Structure 1
Amino acid sequence: MIDAPGPVVVITGASSGIGRETARAYARRGARLVLAARGAAALETVADECRALGAAVRTMPTDVSAEGEVRALAAGAVAEFGRVDVWVGNAGVFSYGTFEQTPARVFRQVIETNLMGQVHGARAVLPYFRRQGAGTLVLVGSLYSRVSSPQIAPYITSKWGLLGFAEVLRAELRGTGIRVRVVLPSTVDTPIYQHAANVTGRAVHPLAPAASPRRVARAIVRAPRRRRFASPVGLSQRAVVPLHRLWPAGYDTLTRFSKRRLELRGSDVELTDGTVFDPPAHAAPTTGGWRPPVARVTLWGVTLAAGALAVSARLRPASSAASRQSSR
C-alpha cells in the first residue's frame, strides 16, 4: 500500500476532456488518484502528467458500462490506498441524430455509459463510504439534465435520469456522512463532440459559448466542500432554463433552429459510431478547439440576454393576470 498524503480520489473518464483536467487539478492538490477509462495507453499518459505534479497514481482500465469492472475499480482503489474519499463519475459518450435515425445499439450504449455507469459507480463505492462513515460522490451531469434539445435523445435521456438518480441518493443518504454532489456544465470545450456518434450526415459545431474544462474541474474539486447540491457551470446558457420551463413552444422553436443552423452544418459527412463503443487509441486533449474569439462570445451573450429579456417580458403579463385572478 502506498503511503501518501491527501484524499483518495477515483475519477472515471479520466483520459480526456473534463476527466483529464480534473485529474491534473487534484494532482496539484496532493491527492492520491485512481484513474479509470477504457484505454490503457491513454490512462498512462494522464497518469504520467499527474505523477509529474507529485501525485501518487494508479490506473485501472475500466468500461463503466460493465458493472463488474466498476466494482473491481472500487475494490482496487481501496486495496491500493486503504479508502476512497471522493468518487468522480465523469465517463460519458455522445451521439447526434434524430431518435428514429439513431441505431438502437447506439442509443442503448449511451444510456449504459452515461447513466448506468454512474449507477454502477454508486453501487460499487457506497459500501466503502458507509464503512468509513464519510465520502463524497460527485456526478458530472449537464445543463441537459434540466433542459432538452432535438437530435441528441440518448444523451438527454441519460442526463435527465442521472439528475433524478442523484436526487434520490441525496435523500436516502442524508444524515449518513455521505455527500452527493452534481456538477451541471453547459457546453464545454472538450473532444466529446469530435468523438460523438453521428448519423446526421452533417458536421458538428457545439453551441457557443464553450466553457473551459478547467472551470468544470474547479467545480468538481470544490463540490465536496460545498453545501450546494448542484453546481452549474456556464452562466449564459443557463438563461434558457426558465424559457424551457415557462414557454416550451418557444424553447422548442429556438432549439430546432439552433440545431439546423448552428450546431449541425454542411452535408456528406461520413456516418460514424465515434467512441461510443471503442475508445480512442491515444489520450485525447483536454480541449477540443471549440472556444470562439472573445467578440463572438460577447455577441452570443448579448443575443441570449436579449432573448431572455424578451421572454421575461412576454411572460410577465400572463403572470400578472394570473396573480390578479387569484386575488379575486
Structure 2
Amino acid sequence: MTGKENQVVVVTGASGGIGRAVARAFGARHARVALLARGEQGLGAAADDITRAGGTALEIPTDVADFTQVDAAAERVEKEFGPIDVWVNVAFTSVFAPFSEIEPAEFRRVTEVSYLGYVHGTKAALNRMKPRDRGTIVQVGSALAYRGIPLQSAYCGAKHAIQGFNEALRCELLHDGSRVRTTMVQMPAVNTPQFSWVLSKLPDHAQPVPPIYQPEVAARAVVHAADHPRRREYWVGGSTVGTLAANAVAPGILDRYLARTGYRSQQTGAAKPAGQPANLWQPADRARDFGAHGEFDDKATPRSLQLWASRHHGLLAAAGGALAATALAAWRRAQP
C-alpha cells in the first residue's frame, strides 16, 4: 500500500455527518479523497474542508442506490487519482416513525440506500482491489446492527443486513487468501445533521439517544480501522459496548426497557420544526451545507475513553499482565 500521505480514499455520504468528518480526517493526512454524495452544496463544502486540511478532493455527485453511478464514480476516481486504497461506506437515509406508519416505498428506499448502497460500494471497490490483491473496505455500522430499537425499523434492518453481508464477505476473502481487507466500525449515537434532515413522522423533534458523541470521535475510529483492518470490527463508545453486552445477555429484558423508554428518548420534547427537509428522495443539502455536526453540540462529547482503550487493547493487556505479575511477586514476598 502507498504511504498515508498518498492514499486514495473514497468516502460515500461525504457531504455531512460522519462521512464529512471521515473525509476531513483523511484530508488532514494529505490523502486524495473522493467524495460521493447527492447534495452538491454539501459536496462542495466538504471539498473545501479537504483542501484546507491539506488533502486533495474530488467531488462526484452519486446516488449510492444506483450501482451504475457508484461503479462509474469508482472508475473516475482511479482515472484521476489512481488505484483506490481505502473505500469507506457511510451513506444512509432513514425514516423516524413506527413501522405501521412507514410506506412500503419509503422502506424500500431506505433499504436501497442504507443497505444496497454498501453492497454497491463494496462491489465497485472489490472489482478493482481483488485483481491487485490489496485494499481496504471499511463499513460504518452501528450498535443497531445488533440491537433493534423502536421508531427506526428501516434503519435497523439495513444495519443488520450490512452486518451479515460483511461477515459473509470476510469469510470469502479469508477463504481465497486475499489481501483485501474488510472491517466494520459499530457506532454509538452521534451528533450529525441526520436529525434535521431524515424523514420524520414523529410529533416532536428527533434526537440521538444519549450519550452522544461528536462525529470526530467516529472519524478517528474509522481512520484507525482503515489502518488496522485485520480486526473484524471495532466498537465505539461505552454505550455501544453496554448495549451489545446487554443484548447478548438479556435481550428480552432489553426489549421491554426499550418499549418503555425508546419513544421518549429519541425525541427532544420540543415540536418538530415546520418545513424540516427530508433527504429520503432528494438531498437536503442541495441549497445549503449542513456540515458534520448536528444541533446537539452542547450535549455531545468530543472523546471516548472506550475508543482509546479499543485502539490500545494490546498495550492495556500488557500493562494488565505486568500489574498482575507485580502483585503476584509482592504477594509471594509477603508469604512467611
Q: TM-score, normalised by structure 2?
A: 0.82
Q: What corresponds to 1:285 in structure 2? A: 291
Q: 1:219 aligns with which of 203, 218, 221?
A: 221
Shift of 1:236: 2.7
Query: Which range is displaced more, 147-156 or 245-254?
Result: 245-254
Distance 2:20 2:78 in 1: 21
Distance 1:64 1:294 in 2: 29
Asked whether the 8 Å contact 1:70–1:121 carries over to 2, the reply is: yes
Matched to 1:279, the amino acid is P
Matched to 2:243, the amino acid is V
Matched to 1:286, the amino acid is A
Judging changes above 3 Å, is the alpha-carbon distance between structure 1 residues 97 and 273 closer, same or farther for their aligned structure 2 residues? farther
Runs of 5+ in structure 2 lacking a partner? 304-336
Q: What corresponds to 1:317 in structure 2? A: none
Shift of 1:17: 0.8
Q: What corresponds to 1:313 in structure 2? A: none
Distance 1:75 1:274 in 2: 30
Asked whether the 8 Å contact 2:214–2:300 carries over to 1, the reply is: no
Q: What corresponds to 2:235 in structure 1? A: 232
Matched to 1:194, the amino acid is S
Asked whether the 8 Å contact 1:110–1:154 carries over to 2, the reply is: yes
Asked whether the 8 Å contact 1:200–1:271 carries over to 2, the reply is: no
Asked whether the 8 Å contact 1:199–1:271 carries over to 2, the reply is: no
1:7-38 Cα offsets, whole Å, 9 max, x none, are 10001100011111111111111111111100
Question: Which runs of structure 2 are paired with 1:154-233 in the superposition (5 Å)?
Answer: 154-174=154-174, 175-226=177-228, 227-233=230-236
Asked whether the 8 Å contact 2:211–2:300 carries over to 1, the reply is: no
Is 1:87 the counterpart of 2:93? The answer is no
Judging changes above 3 Å, is the alpha-carbon distance between structure 1 residues 272 and 249 closer, same or farther for their aligned structure 2 residues? farther
Distance 1:48 1:38 in 2: 16
SS for the counterpart of 1:236 is: helix
Judging changes above 3 Å, is the alpha-carbon distance between structure 1 residues 62 and 273 closer, same or farther for their aligned structure 2 residues? same
Shift of 1:253: 1.7
Asked whether the 8 Å contact 2:42–2:291 carries over to 1, the reply is: no
Asked whether the 8 Å contact 1:148–1:156 carries over to 2, the reply is: yes
Asked whether the 8 Å contact 1:94–1:193 carries over to 2, the reply is: no
Shift of 1:125: 1.4
Asked whether the 8 Å contact 2:213–2:300 carries over to 1, the reply is: no
Distance 2:214 2:223 in 1: 15
1:199-218 Cα offsets, whole Å, 9 max, x none, are 23232122001111111111
Q: What corresponds to 2:280 in structure 1? A: 276
Distance 2:136 2:191 in 1: 26
Question: Which runs of structure 2 are paired with 1:231-310 in the superposition (5 Å)?
Answer: 231-264=234-267, 266=269, 269=272, 274-280=278-284, 281=286, 282-293=288-299
Judging changes above 3 Å, is the alpha-carbon distance between structure 1 residues 265 and 35 closer, same or farther for their aligned structure 2 residues? closer
Shift of 1:271: 9.0
Shift of 1:137: 0.6
Matched to 2:215, the amino acid is P
SS for the counterpart of 1:100 is: helix
Asked whether the 8 Å contact 2:191–2:300 carries over to 1, the reply is: no
Q: What corresponds to 1:311 in structure 2? A: none
Asked whether the 8 Å contact 2:65–2:116 carries over to 1, the reply is: yes
Judging changes above 3 Å, is the alpha-carbon distance between structure 1 residues 122 and 294 closer, same or farther for their aligned structure 2 residues? closer
Judging changes above 3 Å, is the alpha-carbon distance between structure 1 residues 127 and 294 closer, same or farther for their aligned structure 2 residues? closer
Q: Report the number of matched residues.
A: 293
Matched to 1:245, the amino acid is A
Q: What corresponds to 2:96 in structure 1? A: 96
Distance 1:291 1:253 in 2: 30
Q: What corresponds to 1:152 in structure 2? A: 152
Q: What corresponds to 1:64 in structure 2? A: 64
Shift of 1:290: 2.0
SS for the counterpart of 1:193 is: helix
Aligned-residue sequence identity (percent) comes to: 31
Matched to 1:197, the amino acid is L
SS for the counterpart of 2:120 is: helix
1:28-73 Cα offsets, whole Å, 9 max, x none, are 1111111110012221111112112221221100000011100111
SS for the counterpart of 2:63 is: coil
CA RMSD in angstroms comes to 2.1
Matched to 1:73, the amino acid is A
Judging changes above 3 Å, is the alpha-carbon distance between structure 1 residues 18 and 268 closer, same or farther for their aligned structure 2 residues? closer
Is 1:31 the counterpart of 2:25? The answer is no
